[in-house]
Structure 1
Amino acid sequence: MLTKQTNYTNLRQNLASILDEIIEDRGIVIVNRTGKEDVAMLSAQELSSMMETLYLLKSPANARKLLAAMERANELECVKIESQSVSELCEELKIEQ
């Protein structure tokens, strides 16, 4: 995820294009404000996805299950799996088409 920075003046002058860029890049824009706290902008879909992930990881038991599943998936990426046609798979499993 890309993070970019801009100031309030630039944001005001280029609001539409900055919002489009946030959506297209799925990135975050930090708006620096003089004398005030900075603000982060991101797409509503990205925020929703982050909130869902946080919710799923809130439970330690659920977090362990999800992390274990991710580790298994990463291990499978290293295993070369030969592709088969549907006909070959049906023949191997003795299933009539």
Structure 2
Amino acid sequence: MSTQQVTFQECNTQFAQIFERVLKNHEVISVYKEPEQGIVMLDAKEYSSLVETLYLLSNPVNRDRLYQGILQHQQGQVREIDVKAYLD
């Protein structure tokens, strides 16, 4: 995910176009006013996903279980289950 930088002035004059780029192209736009003053614009769904991921990884036990599951999947240690029983 690359971040494109635009100035505050550019964002101010082209807000609608930048807003559409963020939504349609899933671009991350960094808007800066001065070298140490800026914000980041990104799609709200992507932001929610990032926050959820951070939450899930913030608990060491949960993080380890997730990483273990990823490792098992990469090693082909998977099995299919019938999920219908869990949906009723």
Count, aligned residues? 76
Q: What's the counterpart of residue 74 of structure 1?
A: 74
User: Structure 1 residue 45 and structure 2 residue 45: aligned?
Assistant: yes
Q: What's the counterpart of residue 16 of structure 2?
A: 16
CA, structure 1 residues 58+35, in 2 after alignment: closer, same or farther (shift >3 Å)?
Answer: closer
5+ residue gaps, structure 2: 77-88
TM-score, length of structure 1 as denominator length? 0.69
Question: What is the alpha-carbon distance in structure 1 between the residues aligned to residue 75 and residue 58 of structure 2?
Answer: 25
5+ residue gaps, structure 1: 77-97
TM-score, length of structure 2 as denominator length? 0.75
Q: What is the deviation of 1:25? A: 2.4
Where has structure 1 moved over 6 Å in runs of 4 or more?
A: none
CA, structure 1 residues 17+56, in 2 after alignment: closer, same or farther (shift >3 Å)?
Answer: same
Question: Hey, which of these two has a bigger chunk of strand by percent?
Answer: 2
Question: What is the alpha-carbon distance in structure 1 between the residues aligned to residue 74 and residue 14 of structure 2?
Answer: 41
